[in-house]
């Protein structure tokens, strides 16, 4: 694995990454494997968890995280992505990009001689999805479970489809018409599922989709960049809220997950966020440990 731009890049390495994550979580302040190495972190979008988790993970490994706002770089004045990638490759040992367009990250990686990690794009959020799979295993001690994702079939949903299929986890996406996940990614996930035995479904029926779920997952209804559609999205997704009544349709020991930030009493109620069934804060912490595993694997050459 040279880069992590999509979950598909981890096709042969997913279980190794998960095992490394467990080791780094057990001893986050262990050996300084990346001493004197630098990770450039380019942000085109605002961030809380991505920035802090990558910075701390890099520091735990003895490396140097370097925050770069795209607006403060020559990218913001028109320098082409190809030139920026070639120059940064001479300065640092790795690059993480939180970008607006997925195609820009692909183009950057094509012109980079150092590993590139997708910290989020409009198409995928691979670090988050690997974190989610790891968190589910922590709670259920198995990948043989059913995850139900409710709401907008966005970048997180796309990556979850691929990650679940790779490890053999069942996933049902529950969304209204017009909010389905990316069709190419869905087809790729089905191919993985044939090999692993994962069952993948997309439905608009909330209660059928949640039935017998081990994991209930949701994300914001209005992502960054979708603000102009806010009113319509709130109307269309109104019936897909994760609330206590919906949780009764899942298994009694089902856990609730959210990649954050959460808009309480919109896609998820405050009552659910405060309930004993949530795994959200462990999920948030695990981003740091997954990213430590990824940085170790990609930069420790």
* 98 and 179 co-located in one domain: no
Contact 81, 108 (CB under 8 A): yes
CA angle 92, 88, 123 (to 5 degrees): 100
Cα–Cα distance, 158 to 160 (Å, whole number): 5
Residue 259 resides in a domain: yes
Query: Reduced to 3 DSSP states, what percent helix, strand and coil does the chain have, rounded to the nearest 5?
Result: 50, 15, 35
Contacts of residue 186, defined as CB under 8 A and 6 or more positions apart, other chains included, come to 161, 180, 200, 202
Residue 216 resides in a domain: yes
* 112 and 140 co-located in one domain: no
* 91 and 148 co-located in one domain: no
User: Cβ–Cβ contacts within 10 Å for residue 11, how many?
Assistant: 13
- pLDDT exceeds cutoff 90 at 75: no
Cα–Cα distance, 158 to 177 (Å, whole number): 16
Is 219 a known active-site residue? yes
* 275 and 135 co-located in one domain: yes
Q: What is the pLDDT of residue 71?
A: 83
- Residues for the chain: how many in total? 301
Is 51 a known active-site residue? no
Task: Say which residue, 76 or 115, is predicted with more confidence.
Answer: 115
Residue 1 resides in a domain: no
Which helix or strand (DSSP H or E) is residue 50 part of?
helix 49-60
Residue 157's nearest CA partner among 148, 145, 166 is: 148
Q: Which of 128, 132, 152, 233 is catalytic?
A: 128
- pLDDT exceeds cutoff 80 at 301: no
Is 233 a known active-site residue? no
* 138 and 278 co-located in one domain: yes
- pLDDT exceeds cutoff 70 at 259: yes
- pLDDT exceeds cutoff 70 at 76: no
Residue 227 resides in a domain: yes
Could you tell me the residue range of the domain that residue 265 belongs to?
126-283
Range 6-11 contact pairs with CB under 8 angstroms and sequence separation of 24 or more = 6/118, 6/123, 6/124, 6/126, 6/159, 6/162, 7/124, 7/126, 7/129, 7/130, 7/159, 7/162, 7/163, 7/166, 8/162, 8/188, 9/126, 10/126, 10/130, 10/166, 11/166, 11/192
pLDDT tens track for 213-253 = 999 999 999 987 888 899 999 999 999 999 999 999 999 99
Is 125 a known active-site residue? yes
Cα–Cα distance, 99 to 78 (Å, whole number): 16
Residue 242 resides in a domain: yes
Q: What is the pLDDT of residue 130?
A: 98
pLDDT tens track for 16-72 = 999 999 999 999 999 999 999 999 999 998 899 999 999 999 999 999 999 999 888
pTM score, whole prediction:
0.97
Tell how many helices (H) and how many strands (E) occur in the chain.
12, 9
Q: Which of 3, 102, 125, 289 is catalytic?
A: 125
8-state DSSP, 239? G
94 confidence band (pLDDT: 50, 70, 90): very high
Torsion of CA 79, 104, 115, 182, to 10 degrees: 170
Q: Which of 175, 259, 283, 289 is catalytic?
A: 259
Residue 194 resides in a domain: yes
Q: What is the pLDDT of residue 227?
A: 87
Find the helix packing angle between 126-140 and 280-299, rounded to 10°: 120
Q: Which of 127, 164, 219, 233 is catalytic?
A: 219
8-state DSSP, 228? G
* 16 and 32 co-located in one domain: yes
Residue 221 resides in a domain: yes
* 116 and 164 co-located in one domain: no
Q: Which of 3, 49, 258, 287 is catalytic?
A: 287
Contacts of residue 98, defined as CB under 8 A and 6 or more positions apart, other chains included, come to 41, 42, 43, 44, 45, 47, 50, 51, 119, 120
* 116 and 134 co-located in one domain: no
Residue 102: give its domain's CATH number.
3.40.50.1370
Q: What is the pLDDT of residue 61?
A: 98
Contacts of residue 83, defined as CB under 8 A and 6 or more positions apart, other chains included, come to none
Is 287 a known active-site residue? yes
Q: Which of 3, 60, 98, 289 is catalytic?
A: 98
* 136 and 277 co-located in one domain: yes
Looking at the structure of the chain, the number of domains it has is: 2
* 66 and 190 co-located in one domain: no
First to last CA, the chain: 12
Is 128 a known active-site residue? yes
* 113 and 155 co-located in one domain: no
| % of the chain exceeding 70 in pLDDT | 100
* 153 and 262 co-located in one domain: yes
Residue 56 resides in a domain: yes
């Amino acid at each position: 694995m040279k880069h992590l731009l999509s979950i598909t890049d981890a096709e042969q390495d997913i279980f190794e990454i998960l095992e490394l994550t467990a080791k780094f979580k057990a001893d986050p302040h262990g050996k300084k494997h990346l001493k004197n190495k630098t990770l450039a972190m380019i942000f085109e979008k605002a961030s809380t968890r991505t920035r802090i988790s990558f910075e701390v993970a890099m520091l735990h490994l003895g490396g140097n995280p370097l925050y770069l706002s795209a607006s403060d770089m020559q990218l913001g004045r028109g320098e082409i992505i190809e030139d920026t990638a070639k120059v940064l490759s001479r300065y640092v040992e790795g690059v993480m990009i939180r970008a607006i367009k997925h195609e820009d990250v692909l183009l950057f990686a094509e012109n980079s001689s150092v590993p590139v990690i997708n910290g989020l794009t409009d198409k995928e959020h691979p670090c988050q999805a690997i974190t989610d799979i790891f968190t589910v295993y922590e709670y259920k001690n198995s990948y043989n479970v059913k995850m139900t994702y409710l709401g907008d079939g966005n970048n997180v949903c796309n990556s979850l489809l691929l990650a679940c299929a790779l490890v053999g986890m069942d996933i049902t996406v529950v969304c209204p018409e017009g909010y389905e996940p990316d069709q190419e990614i869905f087809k790729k996930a089905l191919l993985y599922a044939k090999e692993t035995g994962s069952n993948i479904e997309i439905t608009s029926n909330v209660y059928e989709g949640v039935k017998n779920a081990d994991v209930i997952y949701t994300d914001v209804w209005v992502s960054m960049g979708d603000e102009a559609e806010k009113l319509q999205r709130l109307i269309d997704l109104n019936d897909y809220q994760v609330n206590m009544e919906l949780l009764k349709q899942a298994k009694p020991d089902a856990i609730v997950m959210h990649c954050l930030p959460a808009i309480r009493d919109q896609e998820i109620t405050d009552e659910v966020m405060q309930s004993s069934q949530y795994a959200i804060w462990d999920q948030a912490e695990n981003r740091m440990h997954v990213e430590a595993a990824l940085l170790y694997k990609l930069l420790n050459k």
